[in-house]
Each structure stands twice: as C-alpha cells, then as structure tokens.
C-alpha cells in the first residue's frame, strides 16, 4: 500500500557515544533509536508510547532535527531534511515545531511572555513591532490566555498557563507539524484534559499534524488516530488506536495495556506483570529485544530479530509469534 | 523596596558597630603596643606613664573605644601616635592609589574573562578552554608576591624595560605615561589572579544555562546560535557572575597587601601592613572600617542588581518564588 506521509522516518538511528577515561575513549553506544521506520499522515495524530528511556523523546527530536540522526533518512513533505544545511533547517522550523514536557524549564525566565511568543515572528518574518503585538494578542486568545498579561514573566503563570504559552509559541508561525513531547505529563489531571482539548481544537482549526509522545495510555487513546509502541529503541507495533487497544498483537503492548487501571472493580482483570528490568540500551539483548521479559518467548526469539511487518490492513508488528 | 533598603541600612550599621568592637579588641589583644615602640631606651617609669597618659593609653579599653567611637561620629578618625598626623591625611591618598591599581586590573580581567568564558562554554574542552584552565590553575596556585618578584627580576632588572616598583618616577609625578609604565607589572599580577576566577565562573555559569530546557526551546524556534547564546543564555548566565563581582568589590579599595608591598605601591593594602607593624591603632581602625563599609555596600549592590537582572527575585520577601 503506497501512502503519502507528511513526515516519514526511514531506518533512522540515533546512537549516543559512551565516553570514559582520561582520553574520552568511546567504549560503546546507547542505541536510543535503533533502525526505526514509520510515517505520519497529514492531519493525523500519531501517538507514541513506551516506557521511560525507550527513545520516544529522542525519536521526536531527531525528526525535528533538534538532534542529528546517526543514520537513516527523515522526509518532511517529501524532502529529505537530513541533507539540509543549518540555514535551511532554521527556515524549516516555521513548518515543524515542538511543545516540551516541562512548562517550568522550557520558558526563559528572563523573557516577557510577549517576547517568548513573539520572537519567532520577529526572527523569521521580520514582522514589525505592531504586527508582532497584534499576533501575540491573537495567539494568546487562541490558546485561552488573558492577553493583557503579555507583559509578564513566565514565573507569574501557573503550570497549565505556561504550557499554553509554550503552545502559543509553537503555533506562532503556522507550522504544519508539531511534536508534543509529553506535553501534558507535568500537569494536574484536570489541567491535562483542558490542554488536550486545546490541542485537539487547534488541530481542527489549523489543520495540524501531531506526533504525540506520552506514557499515559489513556491520554494517547483519547487524542491519537494511530499509535506506535516503542521498546528499547525499536518500534514494536503500529496500529490504529482502537484496534490496538481492543486487540494488541505484540506481547509488550498487551502488557502495557493490562497496566491501565480500569474503573470496573467487579470485573477482575488479568494483569500481565513483566519480570525483570528494562535491559540497558547500550547492550540490548540479541534476537528480539523483548525476549528476556516476554512470557511467550521461544528459542527463535533469542536468535532472530523480528522485523516490523504489516500483518493485516493498517497493522504492523515486530514479533515472531504475535498474539491472536 | 524602600522599606527593604532602610532595613538593610539599619542592619548594616549594627554590623559595622560590631565589627569595630571586635577589631578594636583584637588590635589591643595583640602582644606589644605603641608604648614599646615609642619608648626611648632609658626612659624612666614616670616619664613613660606621662607619655601613656598623653596618648590616652592608660585608660581602660572600653573608655578608649568609646573615645574613638565618639571621634568617629564627629568625623574625626584620630591621629597617628608617631607624628600626630590626622589619619585621613595619610589614608585618603592611598585609597585613591589602590583604586587606580585595582580598578585597572579588575576592569581588564572582566573585559577578557567574560567574553573568553562565554566562548569556552560553547566549545567545551576545546583548545581555548584548556588554555584557560591551565592559566586558571596558575593564577590560583602562584603566590602573587612570588610571581611579582619573578616579573620584576625579568622585565625590570634583566631586560630593563619597565620600572621596578613605585607609582611614579621621581620628578615625573602626574604624567599619565609614567603611571602606565608603573602599572604594567602589578596589574599583570593582579589581573591573572582575577582572571583565573572570573573566566572559570563565567564559563561554568554559561554551561549551566546552556543545558537548560529554555535554550532547547530557543533552538527549536529556529534562532541563530549567536542569538541563542547572547540573547537567551547570557542574560541568565550573568546573574551569578554579578553576585561574584559585587562580592569582590571590596578588593578594589582594600587593595592587595602583598602585591602592593612587592611593588612598593603607595596603596591602602601596603599602608595596612606598615601601620600594623608600627601599631598605629587609629589608622588600622580606619582601614578596617572602610573595608567593612565597602563589603557591606558590595553585598547590597549585588542584591539590588539581582532584582534588576532577574525578574523572579523580589527583595524583602521571605522565601523565593517557585523557580
């Protein structure tokens, strides 16, 4: 099935060197993202889930060229952006943006909110002071902030309001693609849903495409059209959201889903509790990376690494023995 | 803010008072005293008593202190024992001389250290960064008097390029060119000392800021690296640097006793050493007092500058804002 993606990763790798000793010898690599291929369609929300440290955030940043990929190609609207020079990448920032996890650390404490939101306009569009002012007011109202507070500093805002500032900044230049990197994880649950609804509203109004990185599965289910599951630098399953939640194919996905607390106490659910810790991404297990913790592992899983393959329709899974 | 300043000033006065009490006690607790220095050999007990009475040294210490304090409140810093000169007459010229020397060294070191530290933070462990490290270790480790003597030996005695010591050549007082020649060696010694600290501070302060999330945000905005460094990072990195500068302010006036002694610079640091040897209590008290005042002003100035550069800081509030 031939598909047109807005953003596509082809065999993308991101290795971080581990240096030790007096001479900074490279003794190994943390394989944060190891040979991942997937695509995000225009206008959809692609949810990315996985445990802490599995490489979700790194993948998001590599897609935006905030970190350079070690290998592989990244296509944005059909153009390979890994070949661009720094000037073209800066220009590309108008098209692709990111919302960060920590609304406290990600806003410069020495900048007025007006300048945080308005700076991209000034730098990229060379907008006049008046134009910037108007647009800042417009953006703040769009994300549900009181625009009369634009001459304040970030520390005078609450966590949820700060995240709205981050969103207003991200959409200031009408981007097409936004990576929301744990954009609601740091917020209170009640504020989380407000920000999620805002993101969905903006998607509808501005035609945005999202890569939504999270570890809260309920949040991902709420907002995503399709979901990708990562484990130890690998994409292990990709599927439309409802199909994935109704019927996971990968044993790891099944274990993740069984960990969601459900408000149905009378129905005793089976929880799959994984044994052991996540192996080190510097020295991942041979064969299938999940095999030491997989309840269904067999001899073949220890030897041979399963590839991400289409199973049926839109579903892909990387497992020798997918669940029925 | 005003209320805060008033409170700080009142606190400062109390601190100053306590400092003078402690210093006074310490000076008098030291063995020896002016009497032993000024007593001519063979002076009779009787004459010595009269001498001590004239100098006010026969009074109990608290009375002596109150007399000194009373004089101070009337703007009278006292007189020297030896020549009965007013302390101010001896002191003020040395304050100015010290400021010329220290101010030059301090200004030069900041001028070099801050840009250099910023540059090094963007190229961590690069050649320039390593060079700064080596220079810093030298600056910290080398005793200033030793370094000063080496410079004198080489540039003044061997090469005969620069004057050995003092502030002016005899007969050329007031000529700016002559002053500059005399400044070069002591300023080199002092600058290296300041530079060692400031280049490290500005580098580490920048490095810390460059790791912050909001720097990543700035890069994600698609800003040029120059703008990220100077607009976004430097503004935040300057905050701790300003504190250190404020706290170092007293050096400008108090001087560097060792360097001034080596180069025979007529500054306050050298004066203090000389007067300590001569047991000129009133001069010692005056110098301590001036230094204490400058320390307090420097701290206060750093706190006020803090408010100006960091919007999160508000003076006079218990507990900080959540940062």
Please answer whether residues A236 and A308 qualify as being in contact, where contact means their C-beta atoms are separated by less than 8 angstroms.
yes
The answer to which of A138-152, A185-199, B24-38 has the lowest mean pLDDT is B24-38
Interatomic CA distance for residues B115 and B121, integer angstroms: 10
The three-class DSSP label of residue A228 is strand
Interatomic CA distance for residues A193 and A201, integer angstroms: 12
Please answer whether residues B240 and B293 qualify as being in contact, where contact means their C-beta atoms are separated by less than 8 angstroms.
no
Give the 3-state secondary structure of chain B.
CHHHHHHHHHHHHHHHHHHHHHHHHHHHHCCCCHHHHHCCCCCCHHHHHHHHHHHCCCCCHHHHHHHHHHHHHCCCCCECCCCCCEHHHHHHHHHHHHHHHHHHHHHHHHHHHHHHHHHHHHCCCCHHHHHHHHHHHHHHHCCHHHHHHHHHHHHHHHCCCCCCCCCCCCCCCCCHHHHHHHHHHHHHHHHHHHHHHHHHHHHHHHHHHHCCHHHHHHHHCCCCHHHHHHHHHHHHHHHHHHHHHHHHHHHHHHCCHHHHHHCCCCCHHHHHHHHHHHCCHHHHHHHHHHHHHHHHHHHHHHHHHHHHHCCCCCCCCCCCCCC
Chain A interface mutation, best of B129, B209, B213, B221, highest count of A Cβ atoms under 10 Å: B221
Average pLDDT, chain A: 90
What is residue A269's predicted lDDT score, i.e. its pLDDT?
A: 63
Per-residue pLDDT averaged across A25-39, rounded?
90
**A257 at interface of B, judged by CB pairs closer than 8 A:** no
Query: Given A106, A110, A120, which is nearest B222 (Cβ)?
Result: A120
Query: pLDDT band for position B322 (50/70/90)?
Result: very low
Model confidence pLDDT, tens digit, residues A80-111 = 998 889 889 988 999 999 999 898 899 999 99
Q: Which of A19-33, B179-193, B308-322 has the highest mean pLDDT?
A: B179-193
Average pLDDT, chain B: 87
The answer to which of B50-59, B92-101, B155-164, B188-197 has the lowest mean pLDDT is B50-59
Strands of the A71-76 sheet, one edge to the other: A25-40, A7-20, A71-76, A79-80
Q: Is the pLDDT of residue A145 over 90?
A: yes
% of chain A residues with pLDDT over 70: 97
What is residue A173's predicted lDDT score, i.e. its pLDDT?
A: 92
For chain A, which residues make up each domain, given as ranges? 7-95+175-242
**To which H or E segment does residue A259 belong?**
none
First CA to last CA distance, chain A: 23
What is residue B173's predicted lDDT score, i.e. its pLDDT?
A: 84
- A95 CA to chain B: closest CA distance, Å? 10
Please answer whether residues A202 and A22 qualify as being in contact, where contact means their C-beta atoms are separated by less than 8 angstroms.
no
Query: Given B217, B236, B311, which is nearest A106 (Cβ)?
Result: B217
Q: Is the pLDDT of residue A2 over 80?
A: no
Contact B321 A155 (CB under 8 A): yes
Q: Which of B262, B285, B260 is nearest to B270 (CA)?
A: B260
Q: Please name each of the domains of chain B with its CATH number.
A: 2-73 (no CATH), 90-309 (1.10.3720.10)
What is residue B49's predicted lDDT score, i.e. its pLDDT?
A: 81
B48 class by beta-carbon count within 10 Å (0-12 exposed, 13-18 middle, 19+ buried): middle
**B241 at interface of A, judged by CB pairs closer than 8 A:** no
Query: pLDDT band for position B254 (50/70/90)?
Result: confident
Q: Find, in chain A, the residue whose alpha carbon is nearest to that of B311.
A: A110
**To which H or E segment does residue A211 belong?**
strand A209-213
Model confidence pLDDT, tens digit, residues B164-200 = 988 988 888 888 999 999 999 999 999 998 999 999 9
Q: Which CATH superfamily is domain A7-95+175-242 in?
A: P-loop containing nucleotide triphosphate hydrolases (3.40.50.300)
The three-class DSSP label of residue A310 is strand
Give, in order, the Cα–Cα distances in Å from B146 to each of B154, B158, B160, B263: 12, 17, 19, 11
Phi, psi of A71 (to 5 degrees): -160, 165
What is residue A268's predicted lDDT score, i.e. its pLDDT?
A: 61
How is A79-126 classified by DSSP, letter by letter? EEGGG--HHHHHHHTTTEEEE-S-TTTSS-TTS-HHHHHHHHIIIII-
Give the 3-state secondary structure of A28-69.
EEEEEEEEEEEEECCCCEEEEECCCCCCHHHHHHHHCCCCCC
What is residue B323's predicted lDDT score, i.e. its pLDDT?
A: 36
The model carries a pTM of 0.81
Contact B223 A107 (CB under 8 A): no
What is residue B117's predicted lDDT score, i.e. its pLDDT?
A: 94
β-strands A234-240, A316-317 pairing: antiparallel
Please give the residue that has the higher pLDDT: either B323 or B186: B186
**B208 at interface of A, judged by CB pairs closer than 8 A:** no
Q: Which of A207-211, B53-57, B81-85 has the highest mean pLDDT?
A: A207-211
Q: Is the pLDDT of residue B251 over 80?
A: no
Query: Given B214, B222, B321, which is nearest A93 (Cβ)?
Result: B222
DSSP state of A142: H
Model confidence pLDDT, tens digit, residues B7-23 = 888 999 999 999 999 99
Torsional sign, CA B211, B213, B215, B217: positive
Residues 6+ apart with CB under 8 A from B216: A66, A100, A106
Q: Is the pLDDT of residue A249 over 60?
A: yes
Per-residue pLDDT averaged across B309-316, rounded?
76
Q: Is the pLDDT of residue B319 over 70?
A: no
Give, in order, the Cα–Cα distances in Å from A287 to each of A160, A254, A291: 43, 20, 8
Contact B312 A153 (CB under 8 A): yes
Torsional sign, CA A193, A199, A205, A210: negative
What is residue B320's predicted lDDT score, i.e. its pLDDT?
A: 41
Strands of the A226-231 sheet, one edge to the other: A96-99, A177-181, A209-213, A45-49, A226-231, A234-240, A316-317, A309-310
What is residue B97's predicted lDDT score, i.e. its pLDDT?
A: 92
Per-residue pLDDT averaged across B44-67, rounded?
83
Interatomic CA distance for residues A162 and A104, integer angstroms: 7
What is residue B34's predicted lDDT score, i.e. its pLDDT?
A: 75
């Amino acid at each position: 099935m031939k598909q047109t993606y807005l953003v596509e990763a082809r065999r993308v790798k991101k290795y971080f060197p581990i240096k030790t000793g007096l001479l900074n010898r490279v003794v190994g690599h943390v394989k944060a993202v190891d040979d991942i291929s997937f695509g995000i369609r225009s206008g959809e929300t692609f949810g990315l889930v996985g445990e802490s440290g599995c490489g979700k955030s790194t993948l998001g940043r590599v897609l935006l060229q905030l970190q350079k990929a070690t290998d592989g190609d990244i296509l944005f609207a059909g153009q390979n952006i890994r070949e661009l020079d720094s000037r073209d990448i800066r220009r590309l920032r108008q098209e692709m943006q990111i919302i960060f996890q920590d609304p406290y650390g990600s806003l410069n404490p020495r900048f007025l909110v007006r300048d945080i939101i308005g700076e991209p306009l000034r730098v990229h569009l060379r907008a006049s002071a008046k134009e910037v002012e108007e647009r800042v007011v417009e953006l703040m109202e769009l994300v549900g902030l009181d625009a009369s507070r634009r001459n304040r500093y970030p520390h005078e805002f609450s966590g949820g309001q700060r995240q709205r500032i981050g969103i207003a900044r991200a959409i200031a230049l009408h981007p097409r693609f936004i990576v929301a990197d744990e954009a609601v994880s740091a917020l209170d649950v009640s504020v989380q849903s407000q920000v999620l609804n805002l993101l969905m509203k903006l998607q509808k109004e501005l035609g945005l495409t999202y890569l939504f990185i999270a570890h809260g599965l309920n949040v991902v289910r709420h907002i995503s059209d399709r979901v990708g599951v990562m484990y130890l630098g690998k994409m292990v399953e990709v599927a439309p959201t409802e199909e994935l939640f109704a019927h996971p194919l990968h044993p790891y996905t099944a274990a993740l889903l069984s960990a969601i607390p459900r408000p149905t106490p009378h129905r005793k659910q089976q929880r799959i509790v994984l044994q052991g810790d996540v192996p080190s991404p510097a020295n991942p297990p041979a064969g299938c990376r999940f095999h030491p913790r997989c309840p269904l592992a067999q001899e073949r899983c220890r030897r041979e690494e399963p590839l991400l393959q289409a199973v049926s329709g839109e579903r892909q899974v990387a497992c020798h023995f997918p669940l029925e | 803010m005003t209320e805060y300043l008033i409170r700080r000033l009142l606190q400062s006065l109390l601190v100053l008072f306590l400092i003078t009490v402690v210093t006074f006690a310490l000076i008098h607790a030291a063995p020896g005293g002016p009497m032993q220095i000024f007593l001519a050999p063979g002076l009779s007990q009787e004459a010595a008593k009269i001498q001590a009475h004239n100098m006010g040294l026969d009074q109990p210490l608290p009375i002596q202190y109150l007399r000194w304090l009373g004089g101070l409140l009337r703007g009278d810093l006292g007189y020297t024992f030896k020549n009965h000169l007013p302390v101010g007459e001896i002191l003020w010229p040395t304050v100015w001389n010290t400021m010329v020397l220290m101010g030059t060294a301090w200004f030069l070191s900041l001028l070099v250290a801050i840009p250099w530290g910023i540059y090094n933070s963007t190229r961590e462990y690069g050649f320039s960064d390593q060079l700064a490290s080596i220079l810093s270790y030298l600056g910290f480790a080398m005793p200033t008097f030793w370094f000063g003597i080496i410079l004198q030996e080489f540039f003044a005695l061997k090469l005969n390029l620069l004057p050995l010591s003092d502030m002016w050549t005899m007969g050329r007082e007031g000529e700016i060119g002559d002053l500059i020649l005399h400044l070069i060696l002591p300023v080199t010694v002092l600058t290296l000392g300041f530079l060692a600290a400031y280049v490290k501070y500005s580098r580490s302060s920048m490095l810390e800021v460059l790791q912050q999330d909001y720097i990543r945000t700035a890069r994600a905005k698609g800003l040029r690296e120059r703008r990220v460094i100077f607009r976004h990072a430097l503004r935040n990195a300057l905050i701790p640097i300003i504190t250190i500068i404020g706290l170092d302010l007293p050096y400008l006036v108090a001087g560097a006793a060792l360097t001034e002694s080596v180069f025979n610079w007529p500054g306050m640091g050298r004066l203090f050493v000389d007067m300590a040897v001569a047991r000129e209590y009133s001069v010692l008290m005056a110098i301590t007092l001036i230094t204490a005042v400058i320390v307090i002003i420097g701290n206060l100035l750093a706190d006020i500058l803090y408010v100006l550069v960091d919007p999160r800081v508000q003076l006079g509030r218990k507990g900080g804002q959540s940062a």
